[in-house]
Amino acid sequence: MKDLYGDKKGLNMYGSNAHNTYAQNNVGIESPAKLIEMLYEGILRFNAQAKKAIKDRDVEKKIYWTNRSIAIIVELITVLDKSHGKVSAYLDGLYNYQIQLLTTASIKGDADKLDEVSKVFKGLLEAWRETT
């Protein structure tokens, strides 16, 4: 049975730019499921950096870090196996909404929007860890 990311291990390894990048840079990746965990963790790290940049009034870094989070979410959308009906459709919508929030956070310097996105990805990370 395939999972939401297109294969039994959690991610279609051949179609994913993120997987290829991480595989080249991180020899110790245990599985594609671990990659999803790392992507969620990356969003949390980048959001924390963007929040710090907002606090420091550093526009360049705020944009840089929010764009990094958005790039990860775009990759999560790209590898999402849409053939899994309601759950994959829900995640697709959720991920796209998080991109909207991050865009607003970047444009308006709204740290509360970053916190909202981080809260969602903390929940997703916890759920992911419980299922893998």
The pLDDT assigned to 67 comes to: 98
pLDDT tens digits along 23-65:
555 555 568 889 999 999 999 999 999 999 999 999 999 999 9
| Residue 30 DSSP SS3 | coil
CATH 1.20.120.340 holds for 17-131: yes
Tokens of 72: 């990860």
Share of the chain above pLDDT 70, in %: 77
pLDDT band at residue 74 using 50, 70 and 90 as cut-offs: very high
pLDDT band at residue 4 using 50, 70 and 90 as cut-offs: low
Listed residue (73, 83, 2, 19) closest to 44, CA to CA: 73
Share of the chain above pLDDT 90, in %: 69
